[in-house]
Amino acid sequence: MLKTLKNLQNLTVITGHFGSGKTNFAVNLAKAARQDGRDVTLIDMDIVNPYFRAADNRAELEALGVRCILPDFANTSVDIPSLPPEIFSAFEAYETETDRLTIFDVGGDNGAVALGMYNRFFAQYPYDLLYVINRYRPLTEEPADCAALLGEIEYYSRLKTTGIVNCSNLGAETTAEDVSSTIGWAKDVAERCSLPLLCTAALRELAGELETVPDLFPIENATKFPF
Amino acid sequence: MSKKVLMKGNEAIAEAAIKSGCLHFFGYPITPQTEISEYMAKRMPKVGGLCLQAESEISAINMIMGAAASGSRCLTSSSSPGISLKSEGISYIVGCDLPCVIVNVQRGGPGLGSIQPSQQDYYQATKANGHGDEHVIVLAPNSVQEMAQLTSEAFDLADIYRMPAMILADGSLGQMMEPVDFELGSKREIPEKTWATNGTYGKRKKNIINSLYMDPNELEKSVLARFERYAEVTDKEVKYEEYKCDDADIVIVAYGITSRIAKTAISAARAKGIKVGLLRPITLWPYPKKPLRALADTAKHFLVVEMNMGQMVDDVKVATECKKPVSFFGRTGGVIPAPAEILAEIEKIAGGLN
């Protein structure tokens, strides 16, 4: 497990601009933490996207021993963003189980409003809130816009961000150069937000060409296309 | 650093519209296309345009009629049930000979159906978007890049032929993310809109835009004139992709996301020594009849694959003049066919080809 991600708080929330790569990062973080021996729960709290979501990876994650909590109607015929009461279990007996990692995969932008109802718990316990950024997503290409969106997400979630994750990618077409050329940009965003740049996530097959990238977190593509 | 950006299909449509000079968006939210409205709400104020959430789909399409009449490039979008609501307005827009772009990011039907992707509105889009003798140009993208590119082309086609153009996509194309290069947009010459009701400034006779004719003979004349334009569109604007058809015994006919799934099945079939190709209509109206007729001389069997109950089958039979058998495989109601299912159909057909 990457050093900068090893000691994430038991409650770790993943937010960002929608389409930045949050779900891909969350699924890969869940797998890596599980392999690291942590007792991992992944909560799909995306109330924004109708499909292509963490729930698509359920079977694979559960086979690895990751517990998945999904919205009641994920991947059904209806668009009802209701969240199951099971989510409250993430906050139960918090202090007794220190090897737990509960990952909240939150929907993009104002999808962070879904975190509001759990605010009383986040006010009690330490947490990490990671802000996922992608240089290739329109509307957040400029570091200033990217930093401004962070303010919006903090407003909706009523939580404070603790770290930045650079997930800059162009989907299946991403080259190593596409990733390495975003490091300066990601550092700029982190500086503007006065937050640490925790890691740069990139597809595992590109890792060999990205040895000079600091804190590289190799990931697998978790998005399931129909073709 | 790549000049491409990573976008959802829905966002790519919205950005391509803005880059094409669209200044008016009227819509009403419905999954799986709401990102178009959301993107427009963020971007339109920055480019001096207007994004308005109407009180209904019916209202939105009639706002389009007004904006189009003024000569503005305008866009509305919805998903299947919402398009049904727009059909009266679409017919009026056709009757007024107004250009506009309409997006249908299809979902499962009939009725409220499902939010999952489908292609069940093929008949509606290609045969009868509204009442009266009418057509709209129908473009079927199969990637996020094409969502952008064909939106750009739709604006040009609509203006050149003074008629609505429709992007017929589906939920999976609307929601999936792929890289897009916006420099590949359409750059055709657009005739001046001398018919627009944009103010005479005392310098010309006033323009009247209307779909009501007091004399049936006048109405007939207007329909005939429109059908002359339809003939020109049919002649000049057909678009399609042929993939591995040269030696193909079996030709799959599929559009949109289904064509991508079919390609995966074709690679698997070819690995097993079965010669399969793909004819992908990019314009669903006008329909690529000529290339299909030509393939009827070389191929032994056609297989139509769609996410509906076989709505395109008759078009393939007509285009190929029933010279070769036409089979169908599809899933419907929001279910996406898997490459393995299509491969099984290919193998079944290949088994019968001596």
Question: Taking every pair of C-alpha atoms in chain B, what is the biggest distance, in angstroms?
Answer: 75
How many C-beta atoms surround the C-beta of residue B140 within 10 A? 30
Between B56 and B185, the more confident residue is B56
A75 — phi, psi (to 5°)? Answer: 60, 30
Q: What is the mean pLDDT of residues B111-119?
A: 96
At B75, which helix (H) or strand (E)? strand B74-78
pLDDT of residue A95: 67
At B11, which helix (H) or strand (E)? helix B9-19
Tell me: do B254 and B212 sit in the same domain. Answer: no
At B67, which helix (H) or strand (E)? helix B57-69
Question: Among all chains, which residue has been given the structure tokens 């057509």?
Answer: B135
Question: How many folded domains does chain A comprise?
Answer: 1
User: Which chain B residues are closer than 8 Å to A77 by Cβ?
Assistant: 108, 113-116, 334
Asked if B32 lies within 8 A of A50 by C-beta distance, the reply is yes
pLDDT of residue A78: 86
* CA separation for the pair B354, A212 (Å, rounded): 58
CATH number at residue B110: 3.40.50.970
B47 — phi, psi (to 5°)? Answer: -110, 15
Beta bridge partners of A163: A130
Tell me: do B130 and B212 sit in the same domain. Answer: yes
Locate the chain A residue with the closest alpha carbon to B116.
A77
Q: What is the mean pLDDT of residues A89-100?
A: 78
Mean per-residue pLDDT of chain A: 92
* CA separation for the pair B152, B77 (Å, rounded): 15
Mean per-residue pLDDT of chain B: 97
- Domain boundary (B236, B263, B298) is at B236
* CA separation for the pair A34, A26 (Å, rounded): 12
pLDDT of residue A97: 62
Asked if A227 lies within 8 A of B15 by C-beta distance, the reply is no
A199-212: per-residue pLDDT in tens? 999 999 999 999 99
Chain A contact for B120 (CB, 8 A cutoff):
no
pLDDT of residue B148: 98
Say if A165 falls within a structural domain: yes
Angle at B228 between CA B238 and CA B283, to 5 degrees: 15
- Domain boundary (B213, B236, B259) is at B236
In whole angstroms, what separates CA A210 from the centre of its chain?
Answer: 21
A23-75: per-residue pLDDT in tens? 999 999 999 999 999 999 999 998 888 888 888 999 999 999 999 999 888 88
Tell me: do B152 and B258 sit in the same domain. Answer: no
Tell me: do B228 and B282 sit in the same domain. Answer: no
Tell me: do B333 and B190 sit in the same domain. Answer: no
Of the candidates B6, B11, B172, the beta carbon closest to that of A226 is on: B172
Pairing mode, strands B24-27 and B50-53: parallel
B200-258: per-residue pLDDT in tens? 999 999 999 999 999 999 999 999 999 999 999 999 999 999 999 999 999 999 999 99
pLDDT of residue B167: 98
Of the candidates A78, A139, A223, the beta carbon closest to that of B42 is on: A139
How far away is chain B from the Cα of A85, in angstroms, using its nearest Cα? Answer: 24
Q: What is the mean pLDDT of residues B53-68?
A: 98
Asked if A170 lies within 8 A of B2 by C-beta distance, the reply is yes
* CA separation for the pair B14, A141 (Å, rounded): 17
DSSP state of B120: T
B135-185: per-residue pLDDT in tens? 999 999 999 999 999 999 999 999 999 999 999 999 999 999 999 999 988
CATH number at residue B261: 3.40.50.920
* CA separation for the pair A215, B203 (Å, rounded): 68
pLDDT over 70 for what percent of chain A? 99
pLDDT of residue A4: 95
Say if A184 falls within a structural domain: yes
Tell me: do B14 and B123 sit in the same domain. Answer: yes
How many C-beta atoms surround the C-beta of residue B42 within 10 A? 15
Q: What is the mean pLDDT of residues B89-114?
A: 97
Question: Among all chains, which residue has been given the structure tokens 């816009």?
Answer: A145
* 3-state secondary structure string across B191-242: CCCCCCCCCCCCCCCCCCCCCCCCCHHHHHHHHHHHHHHHHHHHHHCCCEEE
Chain A contact for B330 (CB, 8 A cutoff):
no
Q: Please return the burial class of A222, using the count of CB atoms within 10 Å of its CB with bins 0-12, 13-18 and 19+.
A: buried
Asked if A137 lies within 8 A of B5 by C-beta distance, the reply is yes
Asked if A173 lies within 8 A of B115 by C-beta distance, the reply is no
Tell me: do B67 and B10 sit in the same domain. Answer: yes
The lowest-confidence range among A97-106, B2-11, B85-94, B140-149 is A97-106
Chain A contact for B128 (CB, 8 A cutoff):
no
Q: Is the dihedral of CA B265, B269, B270, B276 positive or negative?
A: negative
- Domain boundary (B236, B255, B279) is at B236
Beta bridge partners of B2: none
In 3-state terms, what secondary structure has residue B137? strand
Q: Is the pLDDT of residue A93 over 80?
A: no
Between A97 and A64, the more confident residue is A64
Say if A225 falls within a structural domain: no
Asked if A227 lies within 8 A of B339 by C-beta distance, the reply is yes
pLDDT of residue B354: 62
CATH number at residue A190: 3.40.50.300
Asked if B6 lies within 8 A of A171 by C-beta distance, the reply is yes
Which of residues 259 through 278 in chain B touch A, CB cutoff 8 A?
260-261, 263-264
Q: What is the mean pLDDT of residues A64-88?
A: 89
User: Which chain B residues are closer than 8 Å to A182 by Cβ?
Assistant: 1
Of the candidates B42, B108, B115, the beta carbon closest to that of A79 is on: B115
Say if A226 falls within a structural domain: no
How far away is chain B from the Cα of A198, in angstroms, using its nearest Cα? Answer: 22
Tell me: do B230 and B326 sit in the same domain. Answer: no
* CA separation for the pair B268, B272 (Å, rounded): 7
User: Which chain A residues are closer than 8 Å to B15 by Cβ?
Assistant: 138
Of the candidates B2, B7, B116, the beta carbon closest to that of A178 is on: B2
The residues of A whose Cβ lies within 8 A of any Cβ of B are 19, 49-52, 77-79, 134-139, 141, 169-173, 175, 177-178, 181-182, 223, 225-227
Asked if B175 lies within 8 A of A79 by C-beta distance, the reply is no
Tell me: do B86 and B197 sit in the same domain. Answer: yes
Q: Is the pLDDT of residue A177 over 90?
A: yes
Locate the chain A residue with the closest alpha carbon to B333.
A77
Query: What is the secondary structure of chain A as a DSSP string?
Result: --HHHHT--SEEEEEESTTSSHHHHHHHHHHHHHHTT-EEEEEEE-SS-SSSSGGGGHHHHHHTT-EEE--TTTTSSS---PPPGGGGGGGTTTTT-TTEEEEEEEPSGGGGGGGGGGHHHHTTS-EEEEEEE-TTSTTS-SHHHHHHHHHHHHHHHT----EEEE---BTBT--HHHHHTTHHHHHHHHHHHT--EEEEEEEGGGGGGGTTSTTEEEE--------
How far away is chain B from the Cα of A89, in angstroms, using its nearest Cα? Answer: 30
Owning domain of residue A134: 3-74+81-219
Of the candidates B11, B113, B179, the beta carbon closest to that of A173 is on: B179
Question: How many folded domains does chain B comprise?
Answer: 2
Q: Is the dihedral of CA B122, B128, B134, B136 positive or negative?
A: negative
pLDDT of residue A19: 87
Quick one: pLDDT band at residue A187, thresholds 50, 70, 90?
A: very high
Tell me: do B202 and B315 sit in the same domain. Answer: no
Tell me: do B84 and B184 sit in the same domain. Answer: yes
Tell me: do B146 and B56 sit in the same domain. Answer: yes
Asked if B176 lies within 8 A of A225 by C-beta distance, the reply is yes
Owning domain of residue B34: 5-236
* CA separation for the pair B141, B148 (Å, rounded): 9
A132-174: per-residue pLDDT in tens? 999 999 888 999 999 999 999 999 999 999 999 999 999 999 9
| Terminal alpha carbon distance of chain A | 32
Quick one: pLDDT band at residue B10, thresholds 50, 70, 90?
A: very high
Locate the chain A residue with the closest alpha carbon to B43.
A139
Asked if B116 lies within 8 A of A51 by C-beta distance, the reply is yes
The lowest-confidence range among A40-49, A189-198, B260-269 is A40-49
The lowest-confidence range among A9-23, A97-111, A162-176, B152-166 is A97-111
User: Which chain B residues are closer than 8 Å to A141 by Cβ?
Assistant: 5
